[in-house]
Amino acid sequence: MPQLSTFRLYLLGVALLFAGYVTLEYNRPRPLDWTPTYANKDKIPYGTYVLYDQLPRLLGTDSVETVRLPVYSQLTGLTLDDAEPDYRIRRMQEGLEEAEEAAEDATEATDSTADFNDSTATAEATEPTDSATREADADTATDSTASASGTEAEGNEEEYEDDEEEESTDALPLRAGPANYLFINESFELSRPDAHALLQFVARGNDVFVAAKSFSSGRGLLRDSLGFDVKDAPLTTTKGYKGIFAIDSVELRFTNPALASAHIRLPGTSVEQRLAVDSGRVGRTLATDAQGRAVLIRLDHGRGHFYLCTAPAAFSNYYLLRPRTASFAEAALAYLPARRAWWDEYQKQGPIGEQSLLRVVFAHEALQWAYYLCLFGGLLFVAVEARRRQRIIPTLRPLPNTTLLFTRTVASLYRQGSNHALIAEKKVGLFLDYLRTRFQENNPDFADADFRERLSQKSGLPRPRVDELLRLVNFARTAPQMTDQQLLQLSKALGDFRREAGR
């Protein structure tokens, strides 16, 4: 086995430490999620899986249905889009009429508003004679009373909202059959159509149970019609261990002496609001805190009841799995009659169906095509840009011809040495090579008269010129020294011979 180097041992140690860390993190127990979801599918401490599972036993019915629709759609079987066009047209027509009346006579408009309030109060005081009339009058009286109280409290700005509430009092095609509607939420808020449908649903003899940590802070249609208010309770703290301040817990107990054992203690942050019933309204306090402030009330509306509770944590898994604290939720739900129940999950999990972040994009054809075009463009860009790019070929300049420069350098070296005889010898050697390649004279004899005659004829130069040239060449071959003048004369004669012989 080859010996491991220090660097490889270091890498091996790092890899083992990383593998050990991943193993520990994978096998480590997951921490509890204390998020208050109150969803019937969650088994975390503040989920409602246990309550939903035991709901048939607590309500005495086998018909428990999970609702994943808005309140208006669940109670009527319709969507808001079905009734919205008629409602908008009616609002536009009546808004134009109101604007014309206000422009003609502001005083007359004020008087008409007062007359409307008087008629509303009269309608509220009228008692029905038979069951069918009692049902319709209960709906009208409840909503009209809410409109009148809103007008007195808020002034001109609330008059518009009261008119809108009155327009919503038209009888809705609610589903037949009695039922209980349960809401266990962190926050409970309803739109105006939902609240109006829920009011008519209760007025016809049904019950609604709402447990929420916080209700809507504004004076909405539901709160005005039922006549209750929500007040924030200040959190109290005590000095605990080592002088650290901690938030006090809240003890909840029922007002009924028969339910004295069904009390529960919750963290102070789990019950931050208290309920109060307006004077003159029909309501009953069912459970309070230690200071006597209501946390669970029953409000009568028509032939049905609203049960409102500000302690949804009491209905969570954490407290229902403990025998000492489970009795509070059981006692609270015991007020509901034994009949079919609707469990709302719409406000916690949303509607059934597509829940992805792109559901709005796919709901519109234009956005859908834009999404597909973006995907196609991105894939095309990746395909084009991902191809192998060829490296830029650099421009290679050809090597310069430095023969002449080399020759001049060598010649300058010879000249600096004042050895002209060697330069003359090189020139004579080049001349002999020229005679071999140009005139095919391999072994010329400069003293031979026939050679001189042939060279004169081949080169086309007169015989005296040839004799003078050969004389200079013989002198350069035999002279031990040459002057600058003699070298220049030899070089000029050789150059003239090559130039004239090459014509």
Q: Among 128-137, 273-282, 410-419, 453-462, where is mean pLDDT lowest?
A: 128-137
**Per-residue pLDDT at 148:** 33
Q: In the predicted model, what is the mean pLDDT of residues 140-165?
A: 37
pLDDT recorded at residue 503: 57
Least confident of 6-15, 48-57, 163-172, 220-229: 163-172
The pLDDT value given to residue 101: 59
Highest mean pLDDT range out of 85-89, 168-172, 288-292, 354-358?
Answer: 288-292
Dihedral sign for Cα atoms in the order 400, 403, 409, 412: negative
Q: What is the model's pLDDT at position 360?
A: 82
Mean pLDDT of the chain: 80
- pLDDT of res. 486: 87
- Model confidence pLDDT, tens digit, residues 1-26: 455 678 888 889 999 999 999 999 88
- Indicate whether 171 pLDDT > 50: yes
Q: Is the pLDDT of residue 479 over 50?
A: yes
355 burial via Cβ count (<10 Å: 0-12, 13-18, 19+): exposed
Report the pLDDT value the prediction gives residue 152, as an integer from 0 to 100: 35
348 has a pLDDT exceeding 80: yes
Whole-angstrom distance, CA of residue 413 vs CA of residue 424:
14
Express as a percent the part of the chain with pLDDT over 70: 77
3-state secondary structure of 279: coil
Residue the block writes with tokens 């009346």: 101
Cα–Cα distance measured from residue 330 to residue 264, given in angstroms and rounded to the nearest whole number: 12
pLDDT of 262 higher than 70? yes
Greatest mean pLDDT among 172-186, 313-327, 392-406 lies in 313-327
CA-to-CA separations, 478 to 414, 455, 470, 481, in angstroms, rounded: 19, 21, 12, 9
pLDDT at residue 143 is higher than 60: no
Portions of the chain given CATH number 3.40.50: 36-76+174-354
Please tell me the least confidently modeled range out of 109-113, 182-186, 279-283. 109-113
- 97 band by pLDDT with thresholds 50, 70 and 90: low
pLDDT higher than 60, residue 120: no
Q: What is the mean pLDDT of residues 353-379?
A: 85
- pLDDT above 90: residue 176: no
pLDDT tens for 396-442 read 888 888 888 888 887 787 777 666 888 888 889 999 999 999 888 88
Q: Is 180 helix (H, G, I), strand (E, B) or coil?
A: strand
| CATH class as words, domain 36-76+174-354 | alpha beta
Look at residues 411, 417, 428 and name the one whose alpha carbon lies nearest to residue 479: 428
